[in-house]
Copies of this chain bind each other. A is one copy, B any other.
Amino acid sequence: MTHKIAILGASGYTGAELVRLIATHPQLEIAALTGERKAGMTMAQVFPFLRHLDLPALTRIDEVDFSGIDLAFCALPHATSQAVIGALPPSLRVVDLSADFRLRDVAAYEKWYGKPHAAPDLQAQAVYGLTEFYRDDIRAARLVAGTGCNAAAGQYALRPLIAEGVIDLDRIILDLKCGVSGAGRSLRETLLHAELSEGTNAYAVGGTHRHLGEFDQEFSALAGRPVQVQFTPHLVPMNRGILATAWVDGDGARIHAVLQARYCAESFLHLLPFGTVPSTHDVRGSNFVHIGVAGDRVPGRAMVVVALDNLCKGSSGQAVQNANLMLGIEETTGLMGAPVFP
């Protein structure tokens, strides 16, 4: 059985990644694509790499007939989704890829995003979209809020460790190395090839990155008390990929065992042998996550390293995985494509 879907905001990178994934998904069919500023254009004009596909042209959202559509992916800019989703038919299932519904507490939303939440009623219905940890809720949800890509990477490293109490909750450092597509198709000098290639730098220092709101929410809930991690991302000259290095206090072997127990049945989460660490090269373009654990010569210290593709598993791949659950499709459908290497 095929389900018809719409992609709202198809002219950005996550929208294009949704099209890429759904193009070979045997049970999803793209019925509508929107792009407010590029309405009237074909996808081949906006993204020539999709030229081989027979796709509907871009329209404005208000031009879409949602009557035959089973699910909408909403890949709109932050703050736009709250308004748009509120105006969609109440029966339409929605997977939102923005930050608009990630934080259950609207006060936390206002703190991290600097403006009041525009749709608190919808927020109350939203399920947090980290699939492996909210699977049952996602199956039953009308609205799923996709996670931040950095937030996904950090949680794959840490959630089982916090839940099992095997690391010091006040000593968690997340040093992330991030590919540039996480910034979207933004025209900024720092994202130009000339200024980004061949070098690296930290950004959002001092505990200011918005994905900290997700870490606080999720880790505190798991621990049953407030947990505040330290997290700084670094911009690395690669287009896709996040490498999350989690520096923790805990026993490396025990950490490895906890992750092994929790992830061994997961299709997309692969734990490497103890002492081996992953590379973003090995997950590029895929929905897979590689996780490694190493100890340290300093007793009681360890490192968990997570590699994922921010556009796929960190965003659009996660969204398809969640849509599969919501539509009663086998969870891995359309997502088993191997990474592209080299």
Query: Chain A interface (Cβ within 8 Å of chain B)?
Result: 13, 16, 19-20, 23-24, 47-53, 173, 175, 177, 180-181, 185, 187-189, 191-203, 205-208, 212, 228, 230, 232, 234, 236-241, 243, 245, 247, 267-268, 270, 272, 275, 277-286, 288, 290, 292, 294-298, 301, 303, 305, 307, 336-342
Is B298 in contact with A207, judged by CB distance below 8 angstroms?
yes
Q: A342's closest neighbor in chain B, by CB?
A: B194
The distance from the CB of A223 to the nearest CB of chain B, in whole angstroms, is 15
Residues of B within 8 A of A208 (CB): 297
A237 to B177, CA, bound (A): 11
A77 to B286, CA, bound (A): 29
Query: Which residue, of A241, A285, A307, has the highest number of chain B Cβ atoms within 10 A?
Result: A285
Q: A186's closest neighbor in chain B, by CB?
A: B192
Is A194 in contact with B205, judged by CB distance below 8 angstroms?
no
The distance from the CB of A197 to the nearest CB of chain B, in whole angstroms, is 6
Is B199 in contact with A197, judged by CB distance below 8 angstroms?
no
Is B200 in contact with A336, judged by CB distance below 8 angstroms?
no
Given A234-B245, A245-B175, does the pair A49, B338 have CB atoms closer than 8 Å? yes
Is B191 in contact with A194, judged by CB distance below 8 angstroms?
yes
Q: A309's closest neighbor in chain B, by CB?
A: B340
Residues of B within 8 A of A279 (CB): 48, 199-201
Interface pairs (8), CB distance under 8 Å: A23-B338, A48-B282, A199-B280, A199-B282, A201-B279, A201-B307, A202-B305, A230-B298
A341 to B48, CA, bound (A): 10
Given A230-B247, A278-B48, A297-B208, does the pair A239, B198 have CB atoms closer than 8 Å? yes
Residues of B within 8 A of A286 (CB): 49
A20 to B177, CA, bound (A): 26
Residues of B within 8 A of A201 (CB): 243, 277-281, 305, 307
Is A342 in contact with B177, judged by CB distance below 8 angstroms?
no
Q: Indicate how many identical chains form the complex.
A: 4
Is B339 in contact with A49, judged by CB distance below 8 angstroms?
yes
Is B290 in contact with A177, judged by CB distance below 8 angstroms?
no
Given A16-B341, A24-B338, A340-B285, does the pair A237, B49 have CB atoms closer than 8 Å? no
The distance from the CB of A284 to the nearest CB of chain B, in whole angstroms, is 7
Given A181-B194, A241-B199, does the pair A230, B301 have CB atoms closer than 8 Å? yes
Select which of B193, B206, B294 is within 8 A of A191 by beta carbon.
B193
The distance from the CB of A70 to the nearest CB of chain B, in whole angstroms, is 22
Q: A336's closest neighbor in chain B, by CB?
A: B24
Select which of B51, B180, B205 is within 8 A of A275 by beta carbon.
B205
Given A206-B295, A237-B238, A305-B202, does the pair A290, B193 have CB atoms closer than 8 Å? no
Give me the 7 closest cross-chain CB pairs, A-B, nearest first: A207-B297, A199-B281, A201-B279, A194-B342, A205-B294, A187-B187, A49-B282
The distance from the CB of A53 to the nearest CB of chain B, in whole angstroms, is 7
Q: A196's closest neighbor in chain B, by CB?
A: B193
Residues of B within 8 A of A247 (CB): 173, 175, 230, 247
Given A13-B342, A278-B201, does the pair A296, B48 have CB atoms closer than 8 Å? no
Given A49-B281, A52-B338, A341-B47, does the pair A185, B194 have CB atoms closer than 8 Å? yes
